[in-house]
Structure 1
Amino acid sequence: FSVGAKPMVIWLASPLGVGKAADPMLPLKPLTAALKEADAWVEFNNQWLLYSTPWDIAMEENKKLRYLCLVGMDVDMMIRCIGRVDFPTLKEFQTKVVELTRKAKRMRITTPAGTDVSFENDPSRPILLEVGYADTPGPHFMSGQIGWSPIFETINGVIVFDGSLSPPIGLLKEPVKLHVKEGKIVKIEGGKEAIEFEAWLKSFDDPNMFYMAHVCYGFHPNAKLTGAILEDERVWGCTEWGIGNVGPMLAPPKGRPAKSHTDGICLNSSVWLDDVQLLDKGKVVHPELIELAKKLGKA
């Protein structure tokens, strides 16, 4: 109220799915109508509306809307990941990472758990720099993550999730191994959780749910692996892969629709930008980033 805002809280029955999979349980028309007129929207849902039909329409038609995704946020996470962050240094660090990544044509990622995947970047696609400021119209996210969509058909190799996988699982008790060929998951290996994940993907009866959507770096100095995907995908030195729906903000002009979306975490990643190493098992080794990492307490 002190800055002239008129806040409104919208309570919804928690959907059984996220993204487009939430649509059947949402009051689509009234929710969309409210979002089309709002100036700012902070999303705290555990079952997020990001990529849902109301979200898509609001982003397309409400050109003044500032959206901040804080799904699954709680008091502890807010204190650690928002209240106790050196934002100027983190922004400088992340901006430099984006600059280096944008120059890379080909990338490779490995992890001790068995990830070994390569892909090529499209220089015309945006790289989402998430620094926590929602001061311009459009989608914004908590600081500590950088995301983009590679050239989909160039994604080849093995991706092993050993942190969390949400939905449908959360914290993983055992690794889930994906074999990816030309951007598509062709085989899933592991134990009970791998079986559960494959069954979940198949349940949508949508071929696009087996395609990789985006890759991200995790670079939040205070993030912990908790099972809350908002925080998990920002654990320092991890890489995160999105699967399923991808919007135009990452893959313009229309993205690639799917019935839902999931994110998986690869801990302690090693990353190469062409032939230059950026990360070594989660530790920053690029000479242009080491001092900034030290200032953030990540020597």
Structure 2
Amino acid sequence: MIKFNMAPTARKLVNEVMAVKPGERALIVTDSGRSPTITEALAQAVAGAGAELAIVHMSPRLMGGIDPPPHVSAAIHASDVVFLQLSYATFHTDTIRGALAGGTRTLEMWGFEEEMMVVGGANVDHAEMESISLKLTERLTRAKRGRMTTPEGSDISFSLDGREGFALLQTAHGPGEHCACPGGEATICPVRGSASGVLVSPFCIEHKDLGQISAPMRIEVKAGLAVSASGSPEGERFWAILDEAGELAKNVAEFAFGTNGACRKRVTVREAKKAMGTCHMAFGDSQSLAGEVNTPLHVDMIYDRPTVWLDDEMVMKDGNILI
């Protein structure tokens, strides 16, 4: 029954979100951690749109920010439209940056589960989500400073002076455009070296070996870098991941608001990251957000019910948007 019910969402993704045209070179990239039923539903919708379809099956990456292998990257670059149905995000990679620069348009569907093709964030009221996302993005762009606190004890501040915010929505119709499903994010790259404070007990972490945390954890940040992570097995594992990846992986790369009112926080990391009432901070690569750091790692830490100030204005209180 779920398979049958996937068809409307698959057609929406192909026809409305990506506006696939007859004769276009369309590519679905998937891996062994993803549902072949979703792949099949997308393939049928792409074929129905009259595109030339290819499907590439690759080995899953361990986390976001790791490039696909070279032959998969080549297929992505050779395509007009690409559906990235993978286990982790590829947006923060040289492969996708190069593809977008070359005119390929891409849809990020990392972590997408079968149920999400039927209920949840993919079925959001797009006009409402876009309005909220653009409003927050404009406010991020105007801000000189940002600060986030959480009920668990996080308190981190960072400079946004001169940075531009980005809205991650749910349409990519023109050459070189990128979107995500579910969409719903207002994001920005803090000024390199400016973040300072503490991040305590994220709701969840975007990494195969982490996910939901089992005990309180604490990340100390100084001069834009994580300097320690402790307090739970996940904290120790997170620090080992950063250490192994090198000093650049400790860079505070991103601050973002979730803006999708249809996403469910307690279903998957994929939906939690976009859910209204959450924010996330990321470590590692920042180039896809106009930052300076290029490293093969980008890990999001999702926080529930945060309070956020931009300059001296409180724009979110306990997860409720105030502007």
- The one of 254, 271, 277 aligned to 1:237: 277
Deviation at 1:65, TM superposition (A): 0.5
Deviates most, 206-215 or 137-146 = 137-146
**Shift in Å at residue 100 of structure 1?**
2.2
Residue of structure 1 aligned with 2:165, choices 98, 102, 127: 127
Deviation, structure 1 residue 246: 1.8
Structure 1 unaligned regions, length at least 5: 287-299
**Are the equivalent residues in 1 in contact too, given 2:277–2:318 (CA < 8 A)?**
yes
**What's the counterpart of residue 76 of structure 2?**
35
Match of 1:160 among 200, 224, 240: 200
Q: Which residue of 1 aligns with 2:131?
A: 92
Is 1:139 aligned with 2:181?
A: no
Name the structure 2 match of 1:172: 213
AA in 2 matched with 1:8: A
Percent of pairs identical after alignment?
A: 23
**Residue in 1 that maps onto 2:189:** 149
Asked whether the 8 Å contact 1:229–1:263 carries over to 2, the reply is: no
Are 1:109 and 1:118, in contact at CA under 8 Å, matched by a contact in 2? yes
Match of 1:262 in 2: 299
TM-superposed CA distance for 1:127, in Å, is 1.6
Q: Does 1:277 align with 2:314?
A: yes
1:6 lines up with 2:52 in the alignment: yes
Amino acid aligned to 2:244: S
CA-based RMSD of the aligned residues comes to: 2.0
Match of 2:249 among 206, 209, 232: 209
How many correspondences in the alignment? Answer: 274
Is the 1:150–1:214 contact (alpha carbons within 8 Å) kept by the matching residues of 2?
yes
1:45–1:66 CA distance, 2 compared to 1 (3 A):
same
Query: Which amino acid in 1 is paired with 2:96?
Result: W
Contact kept, 8 Å, 1:162 with 1:174, in 2: the verdict is no
Normalised by the length of structure 1, the TM-score is 0.84
CA 1:84–1:140 in 2, change beyond 3 Å: closer, same or farther? closer
Gaps of 5+ in 2: 1-46
Compared CA separation, residues 115 and 12, structure 1 to 2 (3 A): same
Q: CA 1:37/1:82 → structure 2, altered by over 3 Å: closer, same or farther? A: same
Kindly provide the CA deviation profile for residues 157-211 of structure 1, in whole angstroms up to 9, marking residues without a partner as x.
111242111213012222321111111111212122111111121122x110111
What amino acid does structure 1 have at the position aligned with 2:99? A
Give the AA of the match of 1:55.
I
Deviation track 1:18-56 (CA, whole Å, cap 9, x = no partner) reads 433x55xx3x1x222211121111111114433344334
